[in-house]
Amino acid sequence: EAQVTQNPRYLITVTGKKLTVTCSQNMNHEYMSWYRQDPGLGLRQIYYSMNVEVTDKGDVPEGYKVSRKEKRNFPLILESPSPNQTSLYFCASSSQGLSNQPQHFGDGTRLSIL
């Protein structure tokens, strides 16, 4: 089954404790992306990757890091989480041609930073 898998689905942690949210896709997609969703703000792009070892900032990259060492994986790293990073996070992937290919989304990760 074609899917994007995020882990963990839920996490409650404390300020400053490094965490990683993993994302894996099995569709051989070149493009992957991370979004955060906050009430009243919709989905905002954090980082994206056009292919292995190629990443770039989205609209809200501050406080986040990413890496793309393998095509299927695109982890999101919070080196020193803060309460304003409490949010619902989505990973998504698509084949090249973002303007004519829908993105496949993971089920989301709810992060609470205390």
Where does this chain bind another protein (CB under 8 A)? 31, 33, 35, 40-45, 48, 50, 56, 58-59, 88, 90, 92, 98-100, 102-105, 107-108, 110
CB of 3 to another protein, least distance (A): 11
* 26 neighbors 10 (Cβ within 8 angstroms): no
Which is nearer to another protein, 1 or 100 (by Cβ)?
A: 100
Closest CA to 81 of 21, 22, 24: 21
CB of 99 to another protein, least distance (A): 4
State both tokens at 41: 């703000």
What lies within 8 Å, CB to CB, of 27 at 6+ separation is 2, 3, 4, 93, 95, 104
CB of 71 to another protein, least distance (A): 16
Which is nearer to another protein, 54 or 114 (by Cβ)?
A: 54
